[in-house]
Structure 1
Amino acid sequence: MSVRQAADKYGVPKSSIQRWVSSAKDSPPKKAGGQTSLSSREEDLIVSNLVTASEWGFPLTSMDIRVIVKQYLDRLGKRVKKFNNNLPGQDWVVSFLKTPKQILSERCCMNIKKVRAGIDQRMMQEYFSELEKSLDGISPEAIINYDETNITDDPGVKRVIGRRGSKHVYRIMDSSKSSISVMFCDTASGELLLPYVVYGESHVYDTWRQGGSKGALYGCSKTFWFNEIIFSDWFEGIILPYVKKLPKEVPKAVTGDNLSSHISINVLQKCREHNIKFILLPPNSTHLCQPLDVAYFRPLKAEWCKVLEEWKLNNRGPIMKDKFPAALKKTLNVMNYNNQMGHNIKARFKKTGIFPFNSQQVLKLIPKTTENEGDSQTLDNAFCTFLHELFRK
């Protein structure tokens, strides 16, 4: 419809129609849901902080977002009429998450202990400063990482088909609360070393060693976990044979958690004899700094559940210890085949900033408390205040 036709149809002057058209061209389009409460830049800052908080292990709820926006607006002295006392409604959050090109979504989360949230930029910067010195001149094949995990007898839940409306759907599958501890270690060059299995018993029978990976070692502990004696046996049986293949004058490094049961005078003495630097990770930081914990154990246990479920479909009761070595070997073979083991191991060392050395790989995941300028400073402060209040609880 032309300007003249519109003027004739609605009975208004042509000059008024022209002014309306010109005004519409100059005005930015409004977002769906009414007047825009926050600018695009402010929304981008919120998204950036939410992603950082989530990656750090403290994902926020929709109510958390509403409170943070209120704190941000209050700090600026800005009032939004559509918000009740500057607190956005739930409908605003829904609209915010549905905006075009939005990378956020609501989903279920897994829990980690709150002490892990106690790490900060300063502590991690000190760790990486020392790590850089310790790893200086050490080649990737001489950087070894270790971690201990438990393998359970429970294959976990599985989605099945059942009658609509049924509150409970059961599957006959024998399982128990028993578990077996396994120590894994890998190198920055992409090699996975042999596992060390610990049974929760006072003695290891020969049949409990058969059928597993060639060269794997087995021990026992009533607590199911490693103690100083078993740790020393693992070090001498797994680490030293690998280290001795490397030139003696070449420095080596072994990294792992700081559990007291993983440190002994014997191990430290062996480290001095073989030019090995023993590097402990910062407390409660394995979810950020431990290569095996970051990206290996979860897919490993997913494959283990598949192998265990297959075994239980053909057998009754918990998996027997004389069957465990073969089942674990099958799981590791599947992991090696499906996940391009060497490539993934290198990627884990890179993600944790160990090799190639890059502290920002981890530091970028920790919310910063440094001050920026303008709206960014105010919004960052709102996030930091909210997170610090959570940490103190």
Structure 2
Amino acid sequence: MNYGLTYKQTRSLAYEYATALKKCPIKWTEKKEAGIEWLKGFMKRHKDLSLRKPENTSLSRSTSFKKHNVTQFYDNYEKVLKRKKFAPECIYNLDETNIMTVVQGPNVIARKGTKQIGQCVSAERGQLITMCGIVNAIGNALQPVFIFPRARFHDSMLFGAPTGSVGYANSPTSGGMTGPLFIKVLEHLKRLTRCSKEDPILLLMDNHESHCTLDATIYCRENGIVALTFPPHCTHRMQPLDVSVNGSFKQKLSVAQNDWLLSHPGKTITIHDLASIVTPAYNASYIARNIIAGFMKPGIHPFSRNAFCDEDFECAEVTNRPMPTTSSDAFSDVLQTTSAAADTDCEEVEQEINFEDSPPATALYIPVSTPVSPSIIYSTSAQLVVSDVGPSLSLPEAETISSITEFSTPPMTSAVSPPSTVNCA
């Protein structure tokens, strides 16, 4: 549920439970929590429990990863696979990851009892560049694309980068992905895969605003790239690169930066050095074993709808609520209610008029009262006669009523002045 208990919270919960059972030891009442010895014994008795450092998960990710969103993605993915018959080597995943010149240092060995350990880094705050990785379902990794926070790109920025890497400059203040730069990434992808309308590829990616521009959509359509995006805030569980590749890459990058600082004492890491530092971490992380596992775990390849169980969606269950009623649905309900009421009125009028019991030459005189609503029931083929005569007098034969129709306004050919008399035969 993404709300785990710490050691202290576990001890407090044990104290509250023991107090409710009226079996609380006296020592526990001093700090209002269970003792440390009880906690050690509890962990020994339950071998399946351990203390783990959780991964930070935002509320948006916790509540958006729900069964409905995942099922909708699987439906779209299955339709694409059936329509285009993509082979595993034609299914690609693209994702950007941020690289800083300053990262958190790795864990180091220190003497027990030492309260504070220092680790040398380049600066307090660093610059950010973006690395765009591209992999396919059989474990191949294409050459990455680097985006630097500079107005102009220089070849020296890619010194020591993985062979075949491409670099671009965004702006002096940002090294992030933009719409125009993403078009260049797609051109890089087309050049390496040689895709076309006759031989298309499937590209899985997140729905970042730079990926969903009109220019990117047109380019993909014209060059045989079928783009399919993951549901919002679900990439941490569904995107292959996020599942099993980028996490390992970040850990190895932290070690590589620490090794570089040890090899270059007194120097700081700049954006001109990052490409060479990234290479060993990239070669150790973007390997076939990690990539294939990333496609397999979320059920992308081999395709499986059972990759996630109900326990994986428990965090989103607390936010589920009924679908809201739209204005069109409410208007439709009103129309159905009004139509049903009008049908009931017509049935009541038809029941009052008995056609079978009336002789052919005898007229039935039924007084018609003014309805309360502005809608008035009129006969389409009956002859309406306004008369002051009583019901005992004989009148000429009139036409037989064939149907009853409801009008919002009286017909111009009929003159009705309530109370009036309807001559029906």
| Residue equivalent to 2:89 | 141
Q: How does 1:150-161 map to 2 (within 5 A)?
A: 150-160=98-108
C-alpha contact 2:160 2:276 (8 A) present in aligned 1: yes
Please give the alpha-carbon distance, in whole angstroms, between the structure 1 residues aligned to 2:40 and 2:177: 48
1:131 and 2:62 aligned: no
Structure 1 pair 300/247, CA: closer, same or farther in 2 (3 Å)?
same
C-alpha contact 1:202 1:220 (8 A) present in aligned 2: yes
Deviation of the 1:261 alpha carbon: 1.5
1:188 and 2:137 aligned: yes
| Residue equivalent to 2:326 | none
C-alpha contact 1:121 1:363 (8 A) present in aligned 2: no
| Residue equivalent to 1:177 | 126
Secondary structure of the structure 1 residue equivalent to 2:156: helix
Q: How does 1:375-386 map to 2 (within 5 A)?
A: none
Structure 1 pair 62/134, CA: closer, same or farther in 2 (3 Å)?
farther
C-alpha contact 2:106 2:255 (8 A) present in aligned 1: no
Secondary structure of the structure 2 residue equivalent to 1:362: coil
Q: How does 1:244-283 map to 2 (within 5 A)?
A: 244=194, 249-283=198-232
Question: Structure 1 regions of 5+ residues with no counterpart?
Answer: 1-52, 74-78, 370-382, 389-393
Look up the equivalent residue of 2:104 and give its one-letter code.
G
Q: How does 1:3-14 map to 2 (within 5 A)?
A: none
C-alpha contact 1:250 1:275 (8 A) present in aligned 2: yes
| Residue equivalent to 1:39 | none
Please give the alpha-carbon distance, in whole angstroms, between the structure 1 residues aligned to 2:109 and 2:280: 29
TM-score scaled by structure 2?
0.62
Structure 1 pair 173/353, CA: closer, same or farther in 2 (3 Å)?
same
1:296 and 2:245 aligned: yes
C-alpha contact 1:254 1:277 (8 A) present in aligned 2: yes
Look up the equivalent residue of 1:270 and give its one-letter code.
Y
The correspondence for 1:224, drawn from 172, 175, 181, is 175
Please give the alpha-carbon distance, in whole angstroms, between the structure 2 residues aligned to 1:384 and 1:80: 31
| Residue equivalent to 1:325 | 275
Deviation of the 1:304 alpha carbon: 1.3
In angstroms, what is the RMSD of aligned CA positions?
Answer: 3.5
Identity %: 25
| Residue equivalent to 1:17 | none
Deviation of the 1:203 alpha carbon: 1.1
| Residue equivalent to 1:235 | 186
Secondary structure of the structure 2 residue equivalent to 1:367: helix
Please give the alpha-carbon distance, in whole angstroms, between the structure 2 residues aligned to 1:95 and 1:367: 32
Q: How does 1:1-393 map to 2 (within 5 A)?
A: 53=1, 57-61=2-6, 97-99=43-45, 102-119=47-64, 120-136=66-82, 137-160=85-108, 162=110, 165-175=113-123, 176-222=125-171, 223-237=174-188, 239-244=189-194, 249-315=198-264, 316-335=266-285, 341-364=287-310, 366-367=312-313
Deviates more, 1:271-280 or 1:111-120: 271-280
Structure 1 pair 257/98, CA: closer, same or farther in 2 (3 Å)?
same
C-alpha contact 2:138 2:292 (8 A) present in aligned 1: yes
Deviation of the 1:116 alpha carbon: 0.4
Please give the alpha-carbon distance, in whole angstroms, between the structure 2 residues aligned to 1:60 and 1:161: 28
Structure 1 pair 322/93, CA: closer, same or farther in 2 (3 Å)?
closer
Which one scores higher on RCO, CA 8 angstroms, separation ≥ 6?
Answer: 1
C-alpha contact 2:127 2:271 (8 A) present in aligned 1: no
Deviation of the 1:186 alpha carbon: 0.5
Structure 1 pair 117/68, CA: closer, same or farther in 2 (3 Å)?
farther
Deviation of the 1:335 alpha carbon: 3.3
Look up the equivalent residue of 1:111 and give its one-letter code.
N
Please give the alpha-carbon distance, in whole angstroms, between the structure 1 residues aligned to 2:293 and 2:148: 31
C-alpha contact 1:257 1:282 (8 A) present in aligned 2: yes
Structure 1 pair 252/162, CA: closer, same or farther in 2 (3 Å)?
closer
Please give the alpha-carbon distance, in whole angstroms, between the structure 2 residues aligned to 1:148 and 1:330: 18
Please give the alpha-carbon distance, in whole angstroms, between the structure 2 residues aligned to 1:151 and 1:318: 15
Secondary structure of the structure 1 residue equivalent to 2:271: coil
Structure 1 pair 83/294, CA: closer, same or farther in 2 (3 Å)?
farther
More helix by percentage: 1
